[in-house]
Amino acid sequence: MTSAPGGREIAVVAFAQTAHRRTSDELSEVEMLMPVLHEVLDRTGLKTADIDFTCSGSSDYLAGRAFSFTLALDGVGAWPPISESHVEMDGAWALYEAWTKLLTGDADTALVYSYGKSSPGSVRDVLTRQLDPYYVAPLWPDSVALAALQAQALIDAGDTDEPALAAVAARNRESATANPHAQLQGAVPQGDYLVQPLRTGDCPPIGDGAAAVILAAGDRARELCARPAWIRGIDHRTEAHSLGVRDLTDSPSTRLAAERAGAFERPVDTAELHAPFTAQEIVLRKALRLGDDVHVNPSGGALAANPVMAAGLIRVGEAAARVHLGASDRALAHATSGPCLQQNLVAVLEGEPR
């Protein structure tokens, strides 16, 4: 059982994010991140020195240089020296590492952040570098083309059709009208095929952004937040890399992670799904057995803003923020990594009864 093995209660107590935009030419990663770090600390009244553990997620391939995360550390103010770690993954996995650190009892508070700037390069091409370097990457199959394979597999299986995909896009972007951080809001034309059967409307906006979360344990969480979002369970699982050995219409790793996180023990009222492409929401809803009564992506999800490396952490942050506000009592957050939902994380967050 992965949920709370040490019996220690841990909660998300604060969340902040940038306004996600197509480009942030005038800002370095550190400059983009700094206001978010200040905001998330301000929400709790904590200072850098009060944070017991810091963990971040980012990718050198987006930044275009080795050790790009070292500059972000300068922005944290790591002096005197801090207990700190970094994953070359979406920030949701940095949150997972911080959760384990708090479980050990070595830390009571943790700062988790992640960021990504897709604007300097062609993110479709950059993501091809994630693929098997000997047999697949030399062919440069880009992220939209791979997502289109998945969408076509779903259509062929009778699980969806193009109008249903368009409805997913419209619903997410309609929800995003209430999210001031979103990059795409309201009615967005489905547009032409980018890679058939995916139209531009089925694809996420390309943009830059950052997010930060503060975790705290037990009574410390209650001091820092009126209604902490308790992490009742969190788990992540990976699948085979080769698309040829996977059933792209299903996400067994999401289902297993959800089981381990206790997601199926009781229904959730809200779900923030990291589905950059419309068809992936269909796959995830099925794997997570989400009924029509579940409020999916009140933030607009990754179809409204998809800063790569931060978009997963933002799902956890958005779900937690709903709990903080009293808009949700039990929310599911999901993050993904790799081509066609290869690796997936599920967290279940709960507020105390009101």
Partner 1 sequence: MSKEPVAVVGVGQTKHVAARRDVSIAGLVREAARRALDDAELTWADIDAVVIGKAPDFFEGVMMPELYLADALGAVGKPMLRVHTAGSVGGSTALVAANLVAARVHGTVLTLAFEKQSESNAMWGLSLPIPFQQPLLAGAGGFFAPHIRAYMRRSGAPETVGALVAYKDRRNALKNPYAHLHEHDITLDKVMASPMLWDPVRYSETCPSSDGACAMILTDRAGAARAPRPPAWMLGGAMRSEPTLFAGKDFVSPRAGQDCAADVYRQAGITDPRREIDGAEIYVPFSWYEPMWLENLGFAGEGEGWKLTEAGVTELDGDLPVNMSGGVLSANPIGASGMIRFAEAALQVRGQAGEHQVDGARRVLGHAYGGGSQFFSMWLVGAEPPDS
324 binds partner 1 (CB under 8 A): no
Distances from the Cα of 336 to the Cαs of 89, 90, 118, in angstroms?
Answer: 10, 8, 17
Residue 198, SS3 per DSSP? strand
Decide whether 64 or 189 has the Cβ nearer to partner 1.
64
Closest-CA residue to 248 (of 335, 154, 141): 154
Residue 82 burial (C-beta neighbours within 10 Å; 0-12, 13-18, 19+): middle
Among 27, 39, 119, 130, binds partner 1 (CB under 8 A): 130
Alpha-helix residue ranges (DSSP H) falling in 277-335: 278-287, 311-325
Binding window for partner 1 (CB under 8 A); candidates: 15-23, 33-41, 73-81, 316-324:
73-81
- The helix or strand, by DSSP H or E, that contains position 333, with its residue range, turns out to be strand 330-337
| Binder of partner 1 out of 108, 162, 235, 281 (CB under 8 A) | 235
- Asked if residue 336 binds partner 1 (CB under 8 A), the reply is no
Count CB neighbours of 201 within 10 A. Answer: 21
Looking up tokens 């923030």 gives 272
Query: Distances in Å between the alpha carbon of 337 and those of 103, 217, 237, 278, 334?
Result: 24, 27, 10, 16, 11
- Residue 25 binds to partner 1 (criterion: CB under 8 A): no
Q: Is 131 in the site for partner 1 (CB under 8 A)?
A: yes
Q: Could you tell me the two tokens for 51?
A: 């944070």
Cβ 164 to partner 1 shortest distance, Å:
29
Q: What single DSSP character describes residue 268?
A: -
In the set 23, 31, 70, 326, which binds partner 1 (CB under 8 A)?
70
**What does the alpha-carbon distance between residue 62 and residue 80 come to, in Å, rounded to a whole number?**
29
| Interface with partner 1, residue 113, by CB under 8 A | no
Is 100 a binding residue for partner 1 by CB under 8 A? The answer is yes
Contact segment (CB under 8 A) with partner 1 among 1-9, 196-204, 270-278, 289-297 equals 1-9
Q: Which is nearer to partner 1, 117 or 322 (CB)?
A: 117
Which CB atom, from 63 or from 331, has the smaller least distance to partner 1? 63
Residue of the chain from 201, 215, 342, 347 that contacts partner 1 (CB under 8 A): 342
Q: Which amino acid is at 204?
A: P
Q: Which is nearer to partner 1, 23 or 85 (CB)?
A: 85
Q: Does 132 bind partner 1 (CB under 8 A)?
A: yes
Distance CA 175, CA 169 (A): 10
Question: According to the binding rule CB under 8 A, does residue 122 interact with partner 1?
Answer: no
Q: How far is the CB of 93 from partner 1 (least distance, A)?
A: 6
Quick check: 215 and 12 in contact, CB under 8 A?
A: yes
Give 169's DSSP letter. H
Q: Which of 23, 104, 177, 196: binder of partner 1 (CB under 8 A)?
A: 104
Nearer to partner 1, 87 or 304 (CB): 87
Torsion of CA 54, 55, 59, 64, to 10 degrees: 10
Give the Cα separation of 72 and 120 in Å (integer): 17
Residue identified by tokens 């996420």 is: 204
Tokens 């993050």 belong to 335
Q: How far apart are CA 199 and CA 189, in angstroms?
A: 9
# residues contacting partner 1 (CB under 8 A)? 64
- Which range, of 81-89, 181-189, 286-294, 321-329, touches partner 1 by CB under 8 A? 81-89
For partner 1, the closer CB: 65 or 167: 65
In the shown chain, the binding pattern of residues 238 to 267 toward partner 1, with x for contact by CB under 8 A and - for none, equals: xxxxx---------xx--x-----------
Stretch that binds partner 1, among 17-25, 33-41, 113-121, 230-238 (CB under 8 A): 230-238
Residues within the interface to partner 1 (CB under 8 A): 2, 5-8, 54, 59-61, 65-67, 69-71, 73-74, 77-89, 93, 96-97, 100-101, 103-106, 126-127, 129-134, 137, 235-242, 252-253, 256, 337-339, 342-343
